[in-house]
Amino acid sequence: MKARGLPIVLCCALVAVLALGSSAMASGGGLSAAERHQIDATINSFVNHAVKRQNVGASYDDVTPRYRLGMTRAEWAKGSLPVFPYPARGTKFGWTVQYRTGNELGIQLILMPRKGADVGAAALPTTLKLVHGRWLIDSMVPGAFFAPEGKPARVVGTNDFLPGPGNDNNSPRVASTPGVSSSFAYIPFMLFGLLVLVLLSLALVSGFRYRARGGKLPPLPRRSRSGA
């Protein structure tokens, strides 16, 4: 396997883990086949139009009034949406159930980038509400974005989109792949410093003993003096 293909392999593995981890919830989420079919239709329409920014007005009926923020259909169609844009590949998209509470459904939406897009796969936590018998998108937030193929492995999460130290321009704070903590870099210096302290201590003790004998060297062992 080529090294440049590792990030996408890791990305796909993590997406698979997300899917497997929620498979039990998905199978027992209390959704009927008809509801799943209707949710698929809502998600596919929403991503193909709002997320991709293609014929945006067609997604107006896929979201709840709360998500529209009071925008009219004409205003929504202009494209200034509270929806995170993403160059998704395909026209049908996978999702897994995270929870269901009454008329609220939480899912993890998995999107893969179209060919040539300089982005990696994305996992987007999405909430749907059952309104007048139809599941509508009520919220969608940036969850996790993985490095594109050929780029160093990294994951950008929700917290990376929040302002913080060294992030004055509100640019994402990239979470690099785990490595050895910088704290371990001090261990060799600590060991060297400890060795120096031990040697200095021994030298000081020897100097005190030498002064205590009046500056004279200690007597030779008896066998050495007798020549035996």
HEC letters along 53-73: CCCHHHHHHHECHHHHCCCCH
Q: How far is residue 108's CA from residue 141's CA, in Å, rounded to a whole number?
A: 10
For residue 1, what are the CA distances in angstroms to 9, 154, 212? 10, 19, 72
pLDDT at 143: 86
Question: Which of 135-139, 144-148, 217-221 is the least confident region?
Answer: 217-221
Question: Which of 28-37, 65-74, 108-117, 214-223 is the least confident region?
Answer: 214-223
Question: Which of 66-80, 109-123, 152-166, 192-206 is the least confident region?
Answer: 152-166
pLDDT at 221: 57
pLDDT at 174: 37
Q: How far is residue 50's CA from residue 37's CA, in Å, rounded to a whole number?
A: 20
pLDDT at 56: 96
pLDDT at residue 159 greater than cutoff 80: no
pTM of the model as a whole: 0.58
Give the model confidence (pLDDT) of 60-86 as tens digits.
999 999 999 999 999 999 988 999 899
Give the pairing type, strands 144-146 and 154-157: antiparallel
Band of the pLDDT at 95, cuts 50, 70, 90?
very high
Which residues is 97 bridged to in the sheet? Answer: 107
Question: Which of 9-13, 107-111, 134-138 is the least confident region?
Answer: 9-13
